[in-house]
Chain A
């Protein structure tokens, strides 16, 4: 059939959709769920601006059919902020001036969330390899590396408050 029924969870909230089979996951998030914090900056899966958390791992949501979201749990940038303020990763990006135009920032943040979950104390080289698939044109990346290192330190100091 050319359309699919989807029951999914985004940022902890349940959603139900009936969408064309060809719909991309990034368009489900942006157009159907109205969460426009996730962005699209290329059409070949290279830029990483659409990175989100999908069943616990980071994926490029433009490289996944929305149909696959049925029964999945999804995390987007809008889910990072909790009742008691920003996630340490968001604070670290702000302190280290790791965002300028902001278009790649949501992808960078979600990559950092997934990466720090598995690497609480990463080296600089490990950070650089983790962000190989996330392009930025404004910052020149060095502040993003510092932000991830700072976020790792903040989370090690108070692991309880990590988001997503």
Chain B
């Protein structure tokens, strides 16, 4: 950057305090359940206790005459009045022109009509004057069911005669195939083949604020306003109208302050049609937000996959070929985006490694469980886990150092942009350097002495090494997540900037970071900027916030929009100061010529741009306004003839090293040291990056050890509240040593790659590696998740039937 350019860089790269915290710290932030509207009534849902049953009848009479009740409806009422839920995330039932992926959707109304397919599916809704009496009335609804056989195993459901959807020929909702190169032959001829089947357990994101919807229909204006704690505000107007079967109503979707999303609010849920319908029908504002017990069954889950990987290695440890088989337990086929899980996992098993021969088959199978959807780094946690486990097991088989076998297979730094075997174009990276740095910073060699000493005292300590590559900022054909983003900036009459973006802020500091970026581009003070997201009255865009696309497309759209305004301001100032525009600079709200004497403030230029327009250059329009779109670079909507597709735009990566002690008596894991080296490209705000990485790692540790959604064979969920679904508390979170590398994203003006998700990938693969290393004396393989104490204890117990290590 030229010298003038460098002194312009004032905010980006600085640890600016989060603007969003100003109101949260004083209890002033307004979340959905804080909204109060006059005449607002409350909706309560009656949910099925059965996992799979025909609905014989729903008796609403008890609820109808319960005190304070306004109206009661059942599935049949809604079936008559509305259409099936629109097939989010796609705008059409058959979005793909290529043979694979093969995908179908089911007709779900916003209340169950013929039968219930998972515990907690809503069969009726009660509307009452207040929440307390609504809860009483919900209890008065009598529904009779005729139980049907329950399926809770995805692999068995693939071939089971019992259909969850009678009009389907089997229980497979999604199928994907990929094949490149003579894989079978190469596997046969490989020096060594490592084959394992990994059972990855179901868990979920549980944002502290659950989902909720408020709808208010204003008949005179024919305007339906929907407040929704959602990550897809801009998809909802179309989804709601299509599902209501109406064209006439104007819809405005507003995201109030959101209390966390993590992907659980990226999806189209039945309440997002039901509550608007109730308001349209009753012409009153209607509010609903889920209780935690409701959230555990009515919001989607994720991660449950059974993945078989067979990888061939040469004698020196190079990968020859890989064969993968992925089965995703999709639960009920609600339109919440679960179909992409199988695709992402199958596409990225090769991960950061040079692989040219790869074959994969992947299935999304429906079962009698809550729907599966996206969750922080979905598909990437699973694919990175299985491949890193295979690399560790190959290192052991070939007697190679675990870091060394990875370095021998990494995509080298000079190969970027690198088109991987499944078609994705990795933007930039220095993988080997990152892993080496992590191993050094963790002091692995000195830890070895510690481990030896501990072993002499009969204690099990080990080091885990893990590398992860995270595809981010994605798109799909004929879909709401079509990969571009929009930013609209207006500098007003007094020189304040008003930014509107199509993204959604749910704790990732969008207001702060966008303010930093635009303040630098416009040369104004960060406190003269206000940022709006999640209001479809202010802007129209595609879907919302997912896969850290903010860092790639939203920041870029904002930079481009800001530059159009900067250019115009400089032109106006040049005209007024009689100085050539491109010799002017803006700093701290002052536009000045190189001599430093002649200058004009942004406020004066703005005044002229709107009021004294007579002083504008000839033919120039009034106002200071920029509205730009930015498309995901290095991606394509369609697969090539070999079925290769590039759906992701940028690829941050990280290396994690964990030093743990395993208590053989209880199976508990104590994390003594956790070191990470992250490369998420340029960083707008290093403090926010560190917090996002730390939060991601906490999510990863929860998923690796504590969180688990267990269904019994009747399809009953064993942990449906926070006393049995265990989110890590402050006591379970180890201190972290976070280090960084910066390899900019080459195809965007900002060069940012995103740090919001990658933390969630590290812990399961790194802790599995550490536990396996700690228990080397017992020759244990760590395959399945979670690494909960009982599972680790059982590994030790079975390996030491002789009771040697089962010491207390």
Contacts and interface: CB of A to CB of B under 8 A. Distances in A.
The reply to whether A and B meet directly (CB within 8 Å) is yes
B729 A131 contact: yes
B291 A43 contact: yes
Nearest to B736: A142
Contact of B30 (A36, A77, A131): A36
Of A46, A104, A129, which is in contact with the most chain B CB atoms at under 10 Å from its CB? A46
Interface string B51-77: 000000000000000000000000000
A137 B207 contact: yes
Interface stretch (B404-412, B506-514, B778-786, B788-796): B506-514
Contacts of A95: 17
B260 interface: yes
A137 B26 contact: no
Nearest to A129: B731
A51 B257 CA distance: 20
A137 B257 CA distance: 16
Nearest to A102: B24
Specify the main secondary structure of chain B where it touches its partner. loop
B532 interface: no
Contacts, number: 176
Contact of A140 (B22, B258, B697, B722): B697
A41 B208 contact: yes
Of B24, B292, B722, B759, which is in contact with the most chain A CB atoms at under 10 Å from its CB? B24
Nearest to B29: A102
Given A37-B26, A140-B697, A44 B723 contact: yes
Interface stretch (B427-435, B661-669, B688-696): B688-696
B302 to A, nearest CB: 14
B24 A140 contact: no
A131 B728 CA distance: 12
B731 A136 contact: no
A108 to B, nearest CB: 10
Chain B, interface residues (CB within 8 Å), range: 35 or more
A77 B208 contact: no
B21 interface: yes
A36 to B, nearest CB: 4
A21 to B, nearest CB: 11
A12 interface: no
Given A36-B34, A40-B33, A142-B736, A102 B20 contact: yes
A41 B730 contact: no
B698 A140 contact: yes
A153 interface: no
A142 B735 contact: yes
Interface in B24-38: 24-31, 33-34, 36
B100 interface: no
Interface in B194-212: 205-210
Interface in B665-706: 687-688, 690-692, 694-699
A162 interface: no
A37 B723 contact: no
A161 interface: no
B718 to A, nearest CB: 15
A99 B18 contact: yes
B733 interface: yes
B25 A141 contact: no
B26 A139 contact: no
A20 B694 contact: no
B722 A135 contact: yes
A5 interface: no
A25 interface: no
A7 interface: no
B540 interface: no
A93 interface: yes
Contacts of A80: 26
Given A78-B27, A132-B730, A103 B735 contact: no
Given A101-B507, A102-B257, A94 B25 contact: yes
B21 A134 contact: no
Contacts of B29: 102
A37 B509 CA distance: 20
A59 interface: no
A149 interface: no
A109 to B, nearest CB: 7
A103 B697 contact: no
Given A102-B29, A141-B698, A135 B736 contact: no
Nearest to B291: A43
A8 to B, nearest CB: 18
A76 interface: yes
Given A47-B722, A137-B262, A138-B260, A109 B25 contact: yes
A145 interface: yes
Contacts of B132: 20, 22-23
A42 B21 CA distance: 23
B49 interface: no
A144 B26 contact: no
Contact of A135 (B21, B696, B727): B727
Contacts of A143: 691, 694
A103 B209 contact: yes
Contacts of A93: 21, 25
Closest 8 CB pairs of A and B: A37-B27, A102-B24, A103-B259, A101-B507, A140-B694, A140-B698, A36-B34, A100-B507
Given A35-B27, A138-B507, A142-B733, 19 more contacts: A34-B36, A43-B722, A49-B208, A86-B25, A93-B25, A94-B25, A97-B691, A99-B20, A99-B25, A100-B507, A101-B208, A102-B29, A103-B209, A104-B208, A128-B730, A138-B260, A138-B695, A141-B694, A145-B730
Interface of B: 17-18, 20-31, 33-34, 36, 132, 205-210, 257-260, 262, 291-293, 506-509, 687-688, 690-692, 694-699, 721-723, 727, 729-731, 733, 735-736, 759
23 contacts: A36-B30, A37-B26, A37-B28, A41-B210, A41-B722, A44-B721, A44-B723, A46-B723, A76-B27, A81-B26, A90-B26, A93-B21, A97-B687, A99-B21, A100-B260, A100-B695, A102-B20, A102-B507, A103-B31, A134-B729, A137-B727, A139-B695, A140-B695
